[in-house]
Amino acid sequence: EVQLLESGGGLVQPGGSLRLSCAASGFTFTSYAMSWVRQGPGKGLEWVSEISSGGSTYYADSVKGRFTISRDNSNNALYLQMNSLRAEDTAVYYCAKGPYSLSYVDFWGQGTLVTVSS
C-alpha cells in the first residue's frame, strides 16, 4: 500500500525558513516522480514543485528561487526547503506521487500545514 507521510509544517515568521519532509513507502521510490502541491485556506490546489526520478527539478513561478525540492532515494524521502517565506505561502502542503514526470497525481499524502505570520 502506497503511503506518503508529510512532516515539518508549523508557524514561521515572514522571511523565515522551513523544511518539509515526506516519508514514502509501499512503492519503488526511485522509479517515480514526486511533487509538492499546496492548498491555501479555503482555496484550490496549486502545484509547487516536482522532482523526476532522474533528479530533474521543476518549480512554479511563485516559488522559483525561494523553494528547493530534493529527494533521498536511499531513505525514500522527499524534501521541500522553503526560504524567504511570505504570508501567501500559508497553505497545507501535500506530498504527491505521479506515474511519470509532469503527469497527474495518483497518490497524495495527508498534508502538513504551513502558516506564515508574525
Q: Which residues contribute to the site for other proteins (CB under 8 A)?
A: 44-47, 58, 94, 102-111
**Measured from the CB of residue 110, what is the shortest distance to other proteins in angstroms?**
5
Tell me, what DSSP letter sits at residue 69?
A: E
**Measured from the CB of residue 32, what is the shortest distance to other proteins in angstroms?**
14
**Measured from the CB of residue 104, what is the shortest distance to other proteins in angstroms?**
4
Whose grid coordinates read 521510490?
A: 29
SS3 category, 50: strand
**Measured from the CB of residue 112, what is the shortest distance to other proteins in angstroms?**
11
Q: How many CB atoms lie within 10 A of CB 54?
A: 8
SS3 category, 29: helix
50 or 89, CB closer to other proteins?
50
17 or 57, CB closer to other proteins?
57
State the sign of the Cα–Cα–Cα–Cα dihedral 100, 39, 114, 17.
Answer: positive
41 or 118, CB closer to other proteins?
41
Tell which residue, 108, 118, 60, has the closest CA to residue 87: 118
27 or 107, CB closer to other proteins?
107
